[in-house]
Amino acid sequence: MAVLAMRDALNQALREEMKRDASVFLLGEDIGLYDGSFKVTRGLMKEFGEKRVLDTPIAEEIIIGTAIGAAMSGLRPVAEMMTVNFIMVAMDQVVNAAAHIRYMFGGGTKVPLVIRTPGGGGHQLGAQHSHSHENWFAHVPGLKVVAPGTPADAKGMLKSAIRDDNPVMFIENEGTYAVKGEVPDGEHLVPLDKNEVKRPGEHITICAHSRMLIVAMDAAAELEKEGISAEIVDMRALRPLDMAPVIESVKKTSRLITVEEGWRSYGVGAEIASRVYEEAFDYLDAPVARIGAAEVPAPYNKKLEKIVFPGKADVIVTAKALLGKN
């Protein structure tokens, strides 16, 4: 197994799928000549040519619209949105078209489309480039939404997403592209609808996805030193939301913290908490605690930005508070 950075794992997945299936093509801003803003598509234009790696104008609605049309016509487009914040202008295409077309045509057509896009903050890019909007898409039936937190999952889930016959929002995180991890060589597929316990524990369950998975794992290592054993459930599959490992874990630990990089209100954690109340209320020993970004537009100022996004210390303090150990 090779140790790869997240961006290289994604690159490997794209290359392998493009080699395997000639109907797979990429489109997006700066993905060809410039190798992609975050270098995920590095070398692909050189390798597969300008017909399969399309540099597009800055016109998000047209990128998604074109991709939907291509998907309906039998191709398998992978559209890159430079950041998740920029999809707003293409929201009509994503929600009204991509998510609903298969349903509206009674299954007569399908939309095998992947929209790859990074979210997340911490790079001093200001309020229009720094947010996490997983929950906006996870709200919509007809879309699949995934957000991997490890290079292995990034590769395996991107390959599965490209092969899926439905539109998949594949949400990456700018803060994870350089994170390294072991990635299985060759054919490695991770299902789009299965969440997974990434670290077993006894006293408290922590649900996290994408970059927050890394934060939660760090916090768990720290908590372990203080005798608190945290079980981490990776919420990489957000829609359909696989709650089984969470429910099972809460039944064991009786306490739950959700961690997300987005705002808490109406967020991923809110959905998880609500499902836990529905399915495991009698197993709880404390109210579910939700950790998320401060409810302000992300600041540009570095110090303020650091305060706004959740970190290891927030998880540790919350875990101890839930256990009455502060």
Partner 1 sequence: MANVQMPRLSDSMETGKILHWLKKEGEEVKKGEPLVEIESDKANIEVEAYASGKLSKIVVQEGESAPIGAVIAEIGGAAEPVSKAEQPAAPKGETPATPEGQAEAAGPKQDARPVSADAPKPQATKAEAHVAQAEKAVAATAPTAADAGGEQYPHGGPDDRTEVGAAAQAALDVIRRPAEQENGERQRVSPVARRLAEELGVDLRRVQGSGPGGRIQKEDVEAAAQQKTQPRAAAPAAVAPSREARQATARPTGEVEIVELSKLQTTVATRLAQSALSAPHFYVTSEIAMDDAVRLRQMFNEAVDKSEAISLNDLVVKAVALALTKFPEVNASWAEGRIERKRDINIGIAVGLPDRLIVPVLRNADQKSLKDIASESKQLIERARSNKASAQDYIGNTFSISNLGMYDVDQFTAIINPPDSGILAIGAIEDKAVVKDGQVVAGKRMRVTLSVDHRVFYGVTAAQFLQEVKRLLQSPMALVL
Using the contact rule CB under 8 A, the part of the chain among 52-60, 168-176, 240-248, 277-285 near partner 1 is 277-285
Which residue, 193 or 285, is less far from partner 1 as judged by CB?
285
Measured in whole angstroms, the distance separating CA 102 from the mean position of its chain's CA atoms is 23
Q: Residue 129 catalytic? A: yes
207 CB contacts (<8 Å, ≥6 apart)? 232, 233, 235, 246, 256, 257, 258, 259, 269, 272
Q: Does 321 bind partner 1 (CB under 8 A)?
A: yes
Whether residue 205 contacts residue 257, with contact meaning beta carbons closer than 8 Å, is answered with yes
Q: In terms of CB distance, is 86 or 283 closer to partner 1?
A: 283
Q: 118: which strand partners?
A: 172
Contact letters for partner 1, residues 242-271 (x by CB under 8 A): ------------x-----------------
Tell the smallest beta-carbon distance from residue 45 to partner 1 (Å). 56
Select from 93, 91, 94, 81 the least CA-distant residue to 30: 81
Q: Are strands 196-199 and 230-234 parallel, antiparallel or unpaired?
A: antiparallel
Among 89, 197, 284, 294, binds partner 1 (CB under 8 A): 284
57 binds partner 1 (CB under 8 A): no
Residue whose entry in the numeric block shows the structure tokens 């203080």: 226
Q: How far is the CB of 319 from partner 1 (least distance, A)?
A: 12
Are the C-beta atoms of 291 and 258 separated by less than 8 Å? Answer: yes
Indicate if 131 belongs to the active site: no
Stretch that binds partner 1, among 21-29, 211-219, 263-271, 317-325 (CB under 8 A): 317-325
Site for partner 1 in 206-225 (CB under 8 A): 225
Stretch that binds partner 1, among 193-201, 205-213, 264-272, 278-286 (CB under 8 A): 278-286
Minimum gap (Å) between residue 220 Cβ and partner 1? 18
Q: What is each CA distance from 173 to 3, 22, 77, 110, 258, in whole angstroms? A: 19, 28, 21, 28, 18
Residue 200 contacts partner 1 per CB under 8 A: no
Q: Is 187 in the site for partner 1 (CB under 8 A)?
A: no
SS3 320: helix
Q: Is 152 in the site for partner 1 (CB under 8 A)?
A: no
Q: What is the C-alpha radius of gyration for the chain, rounded to an integer number of angstroms?
A: 19
Nearer to partner 1, 22 or 321 (CB): 321
Among 51, 57, 186, 281, binds partner 1 (CB under 8 A): 281
Contact between 108 and partner 1 by CB under 8 A: the answer reads no
> How far apart are alpha carbons 319 and 296 in whole angstroms?
24
Cβ-in-10-Å burial (0-12, 13-18, 19+) of 227 comes to exposed
User: Encoding tokens for residue 3?
Assistant: 């140790």
Question: What residue ranges bind partner 1 (CB under 8 A)?
Answer: 225, 227, 254, 281-287, 321-322, 324
